[in-house]
Amino acid sequence: MAKRKTKFVCQECGYESARWMGKCPGCNNWNTLVEEIEASGSAGKHTFNIGSKSAGKPEKITAIESQKEPRITTAMKEFNRVLGGGIVPGSLVLIGGDPGIGKSTLLLQIASQLADKQLNVLYISGEESTRQTKLRADRLGVTSDLLYVLSETNLFDIAKQIEEIKPSFVVVDSIQTIFREEISSAPGSVSQVRESTSELMKLAKSNGIPIFIVGHVTKEGSIAGPRLLEHMVDAVLYFEGERHHSYRILRGVKNRFGSTNEMGIFEMKEEGLREVMNPSEIFLEERSQGAAGSTVVASMEGTRPVLVEIQALISPSSFGNPRRMATGVDNNRVPLLMAVLEKRVGLMLQNQDAYIKVAGGVKLDEPAIDLAIAVSIASSFRDQPTKGEDIFVGEVGLTGEIRRVSRIEQRVQEAAKLGFKRVICPKKNLDGWTAPKGIEVIGVDTVQEALKVGLGQ
């Protein structure tokens, strides 16, 4: 008889303790430690080891042949872009997002497209019955005979069906519903999620099957379960967007087979998700002309330049401590840039409330957006609009200097393609390339120069 011992595991970070505590020492969250019974000794009757191989020998890295990873492409170019060019066989990909955002819809559409390419596809749903999945498939127009649907949560039965069907693509929706019988804790617990993901990883690597797993998110927006889950998989994708807006953003935050921080834009329609090929036009289509506090920045999302409008509203404060609020950018960046404008430019902003927003619901985190934020703040404070055909790109230092940014050529080309006439950027970025015809590139060294060019002062 196997001995059984009790432990308490944090459901947020995976911290283990021999006794219960109200506050987890690992992540400082309250009431997250849950009792789990761990069996030691012999494993359960359904223990299986998929794809076990004999131990390999070390090889010289110079003797290993370089081989380009083959990829399975879908009909969605935006989806292929986020993954680095397509789906790599044998990869394990984790997709997270808020409830109802469209994760299941996206994966069912991808599964249907691969089935239309004469590939066997298995869609495993642990949260819905096969009839519920069929209703969604009818709405999306899925009619392929090579798309198999399975409603199961037992990992042993899932592995058995995969070995029988031998699919070319597998979707598991979601990992929090899958369980192993030999683990006594409830489905969704840290132990179950960790062990289930480990077995799915072995299954994907040993059989060369790409497996996509859906992960729930916590109220903070991160993937639920242990942080180890994101380290185990090959790629982590976040499906973001407001439930009351039709646009969705698929963002790659980890990818072993491509660049990270790639972004794909989709629009939710009644018949499913439709990819948006030119997101810059979407983000700028409702921009007000001649409004003070509005600027446009060329931001890089992975390898793609995206033009986004940044809005600022500066108004006198009614309280002793002025408010500094930002949506879509780091909250700490706003007071820093306001301090630079006050110290280096002479704008009296210490008694002004500041509200910064990135239009379209996009989140920007690269330093190249500093100049656009600073110009929008100055524009709103002086109540003087910028020119509608200007783009601002540059990192702002604490001494007021404008520092160089990466990939200035792609940013300028995207601005020229959408009809903008001027790009105000760091002067150090002007060497070694030629701007396209029809657009003027102006280099500046300080914030004062940028305001003089952008606002005419």
What's the pLDDT tens digit per position in 207-228?
999 999 998 876 666 676 666 7
What's the pLDDT tens digit per position in 31-51?
888 888 765 544 444 444 544
Q: For the whole model, what pTM was predicted?
A: 0.78
Q: Select 282-455's CATH number: 3.30.200.20, 3.60.21.10, 3.30.230.10, 3.50.50.60.
A: 3.30.230.10
The band of 11, judged by pLDDT with boundaries at 50, 70 and 90, is: confident
Question: What percent of the chain has a predicted confidence (pLDDT) above 70?
Answer: 92
Secondary structure letter of residue 107 according to DSSP: H
Q: Select the more confidently predicted residue: 101 or 184.
A: 101
Secondary structure letter of residue 281 according to DSSP: H
The band of 55, judged by pLDDT with boundaries at 50, 70 and 90, is: low
pLDDT of residue 224: 64
Q: Which amino acid is at 36?
A: E
pLDDT of residue 445: 96
pLDDT of residue 47: 46
Residue 123: CB atoms within 10 A of its CB come to 27
pLDDT of residue 42: 44
> How far apart are the C-alpha atoms of 124 and 121, rounded to whole Å?
10
What's the pLDDT tens digit per position in 118-132?
999 999 999 999 999
Q: Select the more confidently predicted residue: 259 or 402.
A: 402
Work out the average pLDDT over 276-300: 88
What's the pLDDT tens digit per position in 409-429?
999 999 999 999 999 999 999
> How far apart are the C-alpha atoms of 363 and 127, rounded to whole Å?
30
Binding-site residues for ATP, please?
97-104
8 A C-beta contact, residue 344 and residue 450? no
User: Is 77-277 a CATH 3.40.50.300 domain?
Assistant: yes
Write down the residue that tokens 């050529």 correspond to: 409
- pLDDT over 50 (residue 435): yes
